[in-house]
Amino acid sequence: MNKRTYPRNYRLMTDSPLDRILKKTLEDYKLSRSEKRVLQRTLEELGADAQQRAFFRSRAFELARVEMIDPQSHGVLDWLEAVVKALDASELNDSPTIHSEAYFSPGDNCPGAITGLLNRTQKCVDICVFTITDDRISDSIIETRNRGVEVRIISDNDKAADFGSDIRRFESVGVQVVIDQSEYHMHHKFAIFDRRITLTGSYNWTRSAAEFNEENILVTHDPHVARRFQEEFDRLWYKLRQ
């Protein structure tokens, strides 16, 4: 008989919030829509990789196997099918818990989205933007840094020297800044908040963009998107610091 192998953190995983949710939903042998959303959101917050998702699917079968001892538990198979579907990685990618918002200028929607995210950031924010001249946003960046949040900024050398640019202001108060020194433009406009929320779009962080330009911002909570943008930010950060 093959010996079953468990992940190294098996004990921790069987006492995890997701494991407790599985046990709770099994009580009535049903997985409601709200319970499904909670389960998928918890899986996302745990940052479960493919191996861990496979473990939780096996764990669901293990819990169901125990319940099947009870002759009244005919509904457990329906519960099991619903749980396995909810834990499936392809379904997780389409999960309604991964939501996005779109904002447009002219108007205050775009700067409001940026400052709102800055105000809610708890640990770190990485900003990679062609130019920053809107004092409302700059004040919020500095306030975020003064709350103890780690702030890193990448910007373009040509725009850093423009009238109204706040790049030197950031440096003067201790915000970490690196500048692209090539003959080409560092033309990105994106930011990652707490390594999990991504903001991107055509919008430059300027007053003219807010007041006159037709621009856009997309904010997404998709962890896969955040990971890709974080990788690109880190690549540029260490390249430009050399």
Give catalytic residues, as residue numbers: 187, 189, 194
Let me know: does 47 contact 224? Beta carbons within 8 Å.
no
Let me know: does 30 contact 85? Beta carbons within 8 Å.
no
CA distance 141 to 196: 18
Tell me the backbone φ, ψ of residue 24, rounded to 5 degrees: -65, -45
Q: What sign for the dihedral angle of Cα 191, 194, 195, 199?
A: negative
- Closest by alpha carbon to 226, among 201, 198, 191, 200? 198
